[in-house]
Amino acid sequence: MHVIDALSAVLPPTRIVRDPDVLAAYSRDQAAWAPRGAAVALVRPEDAEQVRKVVAVCAERGVPIVPRGAGTGLSGGANAVDGCVLLAMDGMDRILEIDPDEQLAVVQPGVVNDRLRAEAAGHGLWYPPDPASSPWSTIGGNVATNAGGVCCVKYGVTRDYVLGLQAVTGTGDLVRLGRRTRKGVAGYDLAGLFVGSEGTLGVITEITVRLLRLPEGAPTTIVGAFDSLVAAGRAVAAVGAAGITPSALELVDRYCLRAVDDWKNMGLADLGDVLLLGRVDDGDERAAAAMLECFDRAGAAWSTRSTDAEEAEALFSARRLAYPALERLGPVLTEDVCVPRGLVPEMLARIEKHARAHDVHIANIAHAGDGNLHPLIVVPAGDDEARARAQLAFEEILDDAIALGGTVTGEHGVGLLKKRGMHAEVGEDVLALHRAIKSALDPAGIFNPGKII
Amino acid sequence: MHVIDALSAVLPPTRIVRDPDVLAAYSRDQAAWAPRGAAVALVRPEDAEQVRKVVAVCAERGVPIVPRGAGTGLSGGANAVDGCVLLAMDGMDRILEIDPDEQLAVVQPGVVNDRLRAEAAGHGLWYPPDPASSPWSTIGGNVATNAGGVCCVKYGVTRDYVLGLQAVTGTGDLVRLGRRTRKGVAGYDLAGLFVGSEGTLGVITEITVRLLRLPEGAPTTIVGAFDSLVAAGRAVAAVGAAGITPSALELVDRYCLRAVDDWKNMGLADLGDVLLLGRVDDGDERAAAAMLECFDRAGAAWSTRSTDAEEAEALFSARRLAYPALERLGPVLTEDVCVPRGLVPEMLARIEKHARAHDVHIANIAHAGDGNLHPLIVVPAGDDEARARAQLAFEEILDDAIALGGTVTGEHGVGLLKKRGMHAEVGEDVLALHRAIKSALDPAGIFNPGKII
């Protein structure tokens, strides 16, 4: 039986989409530069049992399955491969439980990040992971990529909040991994292994996350304007060396500020060439003063602190809007390198060098406090020569991150764009361990083949 | 060539021990009740290259390797299996690096926990994981079991601090897993998979851990005395439901207080039947007051708060001394169940019921704030009938933890003692995933066979 007929035998007809326009729209994520194949169908399961059936149908026939959330990924991890079934999890979008006493939530993978955060806030609780895509991206996608965000510098990444998962494995079993309790070491950390595996080990059908109490009081925002990327980088290294733990430390450069201004008319570019946006939690007055001093000593053109929530929100929204603002100017090739934070100035200097050497525009936003930099290489649409130069710069930046003891991807994942870089980073022996685990959990090789490894 | 001859060909003679008394001493951990086999040799490598050679020799011959740190484990995870080579990592005990700017340390596996903590403190830094065994247990052993401790309720467990590992795998390769940077998603979380794998996937030869800044100011200690375990359990559930995040919340019962008194003459048993020892970080006055209120509402016989460091240290040292104090009374069968913290009173009630039903003494210490309970079943030495009754109670307590949505092991690991319980907890499908991963990374099946799975 053909895979479509077999899917039709186990799913309601409304759950299978074959319209070529819809398939094309669902065949890629936000990584404009990553290649994509042609899917045979898009399937929208309503529950875990339907997922199980789809996996069984595909496993029997060796048909690839590409799971996807909202498609906000930046590495091509959700891009279609030829002949695949796209498994869109956006229909499984129920918040199944919020338990204030145990401080946890159980959600389906299609729940949008901001929706979980809003729902948790209604109970006085907080789900910290806050990727810039939080208004659109799903918890399932966040888990698949181990998404980060602005909060990570103090509060950690998605993996730090995942207690347990329900997933369909390569053997077609629907299994529960991990736990509901606050601690647990009964066997291997299989839930943790699934986090960040980018859909290559199975399909996640339910997620249990740990929640924190919603912070009380307003945070203090510390802003510094710098004349150069490297000076801002020095301030970041100084904050680290001073042992300050901010709850955010973001960098936005002139390119990004101008792009946001052109779009939203916010007047940001007047503030300076490079902005650092720091935040400390309520009550941490000493950290706020120390951060301001680090900014000033590193040569800030000006610096200020504020507890005005509206002002702070405007600055941080500029940070969030930077990526879509740049996308308006042309295809964006997004880097996600992470280096030891003391080497942030050196890495920023190298990025500028690559921009000059390859004659490409590189804008910079960064979760600077983590050493997680997002150089964004923008080329005019249709300029194939600039595109080729950009690709060279992209790979050289990856190699520099590795050379500085860093990683090619801090939070976006490997997907398709960073396969060469990741393989260079981990080496052949560790790649072999990846292949062994992939084969062990996905013997038919159907889950998102060609991604990561 | 016999395994001993082969080992002699690749190691200095002083690194191979065959003395039967030494072998016997190194053939077990602190789980007095777990079975142990007879090792053919004890090997004490000086460096990773020697570990690699030992693994190669053993893999070629199918000889089991049982890695061990200080042998303070409580589940039999480090116990010898027949014909094995014991790989004692205590000779690889160098702190290779402490980087205050990046807030990380690189250590060999044999470094004792308290030594790392002291060394880090010299740089104003803090390695939080603090198992009660911290004066003796090694970081390698802590990583192998994903050790917890008193701090976990606020600061998490060992896994939360491991950034990267160097390990020798089943293919005999010496590999680096994980990273040095604060974030990183380049491939599967193999470092995280090794944490808590109890020596069954490879031999850890180096560990990179994240450090925090040493907390400033003295914590406040909140003590409550209760007439019953269940009343103390109600106070624990109330602290959770009130959204308080203590930096410690420990329970010690009358049995333990008396045992410590008998040994150290501290006069603790006069304080009450069951003590809760809470701690909040400096400056968290509201939490201290709220916790005191929770204790009182749950029916505390008395309660008090203190910032006297000496007083607090005396109480928490009673908590740490409870286990060795009980060991003086007879063989101790140690539980490590973890349940949702709202169900702590119910679990404590069930433990008391099992003690009565099986006519055994069960003492209780607990990381109560995490729902992680350590019922300690003590029987008179040589009383085989009591021992049989204790074993029944042990298994029934595991089943009750599972029935309450908990786990059979919160922080001690599965080892030998909790294999049946763990298999009941995770089920056959998830056990099959464990076996698949074990086979993928340890194809010859030489690493600590018969543990966990």
Assembly ipTM? 0.96
Strands A372-378 and A332-334: antiparallel
The mean per-residue pLDDT over the stretch A205-226 comes to 94
Q: Judge whether A428 is closer than 8 Å to chain B, CB to CB.
A: no
The full set of domains in chain B, from first to last, is 3-90 (3.30.43.10), 92-213 (3.30.465.10), 220-403 (3.40.462.10)
Taking an 8 Å cut-off on Cβ atoms, the answer to whether A407 and B196 are in contact is no
The residue written with tokens 């930099």 in the block is A373
A2-42 pLDDT tens trace: 999 999 999 999 999 999 999 999 999 999 899 999 999 99
Q: Estimate to the nearest angstrom the gap between the alpha carbon of B427 and the chain centroid.
A: 23
Q: Residue A348's pLDDT is what?
A: 97
Classify residue A23 by burial, with Cβ atoms within 10 Å: 0-12, 13-18, 19+. Answer: middle
**How high does pLDDT run on average in chain B?**
96
**How high does pLDDT run on average in chain A?**
96
Q: Judge whether B153 is closer than 8 Å to chain A, CB to CB.
A: yes
Q: Residue A285's pLDDT is what?
A: 86
Q: Residue A187's pLDDT is what?
A: 98
The mean per-residue pLDDT over the stretch B61-75 comes to 97
Q: Which residues in chain B are contacts of A243 at CB distance < 8 A?
A: 100, 103, 124, 213
Whole-angstrom Cα distance, residue B447 to residue A260? 56
Q: Residue B213's pLDDT is what?
A: 93
pLDDT classification of B92: cutoffs 50, 70, 90: very high
| 8 Å CB contact between A400 and A347 | yes
B403-432 pLDDT tens trace: 999 999 999 999 999 999 999 999 999 999
Q: Residue B134's pLDDT is what?
A: 96
Taking an 8 Å cut-off on Cβ atoms, the answer to whether A190 and B434 are in contact is yes
pLDDT classification of B375: cutoffs 50, 70, 90: very high
Taking an 8 Å cut-off on Cβ atoms, the answer to whether B183 and A436 are in contact is no
User: DSSP letter at A448?
Assistant: S
Q: Which of B181, B284, B422 to mutate to test the interface with A (most CBs of A within 10 A)?
A: B181
Rounded to the nearest 10°, the torsion over CA A424, A427, A432, A434 is -60
- Nearest-neighbour CA in chain A from B425: distance (Å): 8
User: Is residue A55's pLDDT more than 90?
Assistant: yes
The mean per-residue pLDDT over the stretch A185-214 comes to 97
| 8 Å CB contact between A165 and A179 | no
A339-367 pLDDT tens trace: 999 999 999 999 999 999 999 999 999 99
B230-270 pLDDT tens trace: 999 999 999 999 989 999 999 999 999 999 999 999 888 88
User: Is residue B164's pLDDT more than 90?
Assistant: yes
Q: Judge whether B36 is closer than 8 Å to chain A, CB to CB.
A: no
Q: Judge whether B444 is closer than 8 Å to chain A, CB to CB.
A: no
Q: Residue B282's pLDDT is what?
A: 85
User: Is residue B171's pLDDT more than 90?
Assistant: no
Contacts (Cβ under 8 Å, ≥6 apart) of B275: B223, B224, B225, B226, B232, B251, B252, B253, B257, B268, B315
User: Is residue B401's pLDDT more than 90?
Assistant: yes
Lowest mean pLDDT of A85-89, A331-335, B282-286, name the range: B282-286
Q: Which residue has the higher pLDDT, B270 or B18?
A: B18
Amino acid at B239: V
From the list A101, A411, A439, the residue facing B183 with the nearest CB is A411
